[in-house]
A and B are shown apart, each in its own frame.
Chain A
Amino acid sequence: MGEKKRIELDYSKIESDRMRLNVGPQHPSTHGVLRLEVELDGEIVTEVVPHIGYLHRCFEKHAEKMTYPQVIPYIDRMDYVTSMNNELPYVMAVEKMLGIKVPEKVEYIRVIMCELNRIASHQIAVATFGLDAGAFTPFLYFFRDREYILAIFEKASGARLLFNYFWIGGLSADVHPTFKEDVLAIVKQVRKTNKEIEDLLIYNKIFIERTANVGILPADVAINYACSGPVLRGSGVKFDLRKNEPYSIYDRFDFDIPVGMGEVGTVGDSWDRNIVRMREMEQSCRIIEQAVAQMPDEGDVQEKLPKRIKPPKGDIYMRAENPKGDLGFYIVSNGTDKPERVKARGTSFVNLSVLPEISKGYMFADLILILGSIDIVLGEVDR
């Protein structure tokens, strides 16, 4: 240690009434390595500038140097809490280019896995949202339940987080024999915990005070910013790709699209975005129950494919409803076994862009909650 460092300040140049605060990249509540440059007037937020890129891993460039099946593990790492859902639009896109149809059983397993992962993702979203509000206990209740879901994934794919399970033309492995019973047990457990969380957190007076009328996102602003998923539906827009543009076999199931209704505050506030996630978990449970009932027991889980996957020249855009919103892949094929270009439409990236718009004028503590209610994963923002 040398001599004392002193910061020389020219007081005439300092605005005395505003404070610039750097939130992150290492901060407990930025959900990863997001940096927010915040201008505060006392406790009131006057300006928010998100700075991203701390988790950039060149996914799109990597994808150009990999063969089609080798891209899938990179897709897992985009939104690392919803890996199953990430894989689905990509494999569907490549399958469509190849013109193959996967076996019936594969479709059902894919839907069940996606919905289980949707539950797991929403559990993290609601749990960390509660954590931002200062409630620590619901966080651990959700993580306890999430373990059961991850155990199923582990039995099926061998991995707990980054599965590489959906392969082009099928799955990497068949599910275990007790799969159906395990899934139904989870559905039961999820419903039980959700009931408990509603009593403990969602309808808690303090929690409602903190989240209702905070971070109001009107429907037109949400559409202008191309928000999707629970952020869009929280504003009262009934749009869900599973219903509006059914892909895979989602048209066979009966489920509702929950939307924010402003029960405790205004339509499109943080509480609405959060309750949409809670209700979507229930809808996912319904889909899983129907899928398990309809799923055929026998069958192969891998379609016959040529050794080198070479889709014909052309391009394709395929999108699917991720837990966080609308995830799309634009793939350009040049006829070789490596894609010319893979462009991902990151849900979290698009949803994050609305943060500066809706957090102005609220208090600093609210900013954290608004960010939590948007539910971003930095792995997908930066890719």
Chain B
Amino acid sequence: MAKQYETVIGLEVHVELATKTKIFCSCSTQFGGAPNTHTCPVCTGMPGSLPVLNRQVVEYAMAIGLAANCEITRVCKFDRKNYFYPDNPQNYQISQLYLPIARNGYVEIGTGGTRKRVRIHEMHMEEDAGKLVHDEWDDTSLVDYNRSGVPLVEIVSEPDMRSADEVIAYLEKLRMIIQYLGASDCKLQEGSMRADVNLSVRETGAKEFGTRTEMKNLNSFKAIARAIEGERNRQIELLSEGKKVIQETRRWDDNKEASYAMRSKEDAQDYRYFPDPDLVPIIISDEWIERVKRNQPELRDEKLKRYKKEFDIPQYDAEIITASRHMAELFERASALCGKPKKVSNWLMVETMRLLKEKNMEPEELAFSPENLAGLIELAENGTINSSVAKEVFEKIFTDNVNPVEYTEKHGLKTVNDEKELLKVLEKVIAENPQAVVDYRGGKEKALGALVGQTMKAMKGKANPGMVNKKLREILQ
């Protein structure tokens, strides 16, 4: 029988923080400016310039650390990581090695009904590097320092994960926490969240870890899952052939679904870390921690509990809605406006999710206002519009955030409640469909449906189906 292997995975996750300005200067962190327009002497490493720490970075890092159950380091320092590369203007990165902001935390993840803790070894603050652009025509490289100095936190887990599912669950959990805190938008595709996977395999039951590799360039959950699968198989294959896994950094190519070695441990650089003498230690007081805790928004787990209690909506619905802080906010605000949380939840769970899927969008991208959703619910509930019209209007709200009252008014979508007009149409429908009338009178309930349909059609959908039904029954009795 073939040997059984277990996969052991630890993650290094980089998250770009959502501060308006960079970590050590007042340049904008905005993504996508013309090259080298969000720069100054500090973030381009000009001689004589000095870094000044942005306190908001510390607060975001503390908030994430606290939400991930970490101990906050009361006297923390920045260190210099020395290496030469042109995207790094000083040829050292200001990071934290000796006294990182947070240590010894954990997050809870759930996969397939089981729950487990993934421990966090440490979390530190650092600056991002610039971006190199290679000009193939000219055979030169250009550098854009707009990203240089954008604040990052790196979250280093313990090797506690055993499968791609657990890795994804862990990443989703981190992303949810950080998005809830407003500390980052955590977009993998845009690079505001990046994960490096440390993976090794060992025979099931073995005590010692195997030799690990580090996988870089993973920019979607799918790529991460594929890379884990690929690397696991590569390592198992090596071991079963009696070969050894080499400790190295590998780059994942998601198009080829294969990885290749970047550098081995032997050519690992000596970064010559030492405390940055340009920055003073950060002293974190109890008061500061308390203030950050107080300002922390309600996180997902607390929200879940509250929703079930306060709004009486099913667990499953509450989970879907709270999975995105933005959706949860839409829910709460729309519910407060119309006073019908169950209806709001329904619109989000059914129509919103359908359209998100159809348009391949993330819940964070929802652009309609809670006012318009609440307005729509009121129109539907007081019978101003019927349910099929409501769906039609909702699509317009979803795509263009239209005001439902104005929209139904403008397009004449209001249900016609005028009895005289309805009776006129009914007479006509009965006259034109003698067979259906005979069938209904002969006991075929279904025939009534056909008549209702004809009436709705004749009234261009603006009739109230309940009323049509009732009147028809009265007439045909």
| Co-complex (A, B) | no
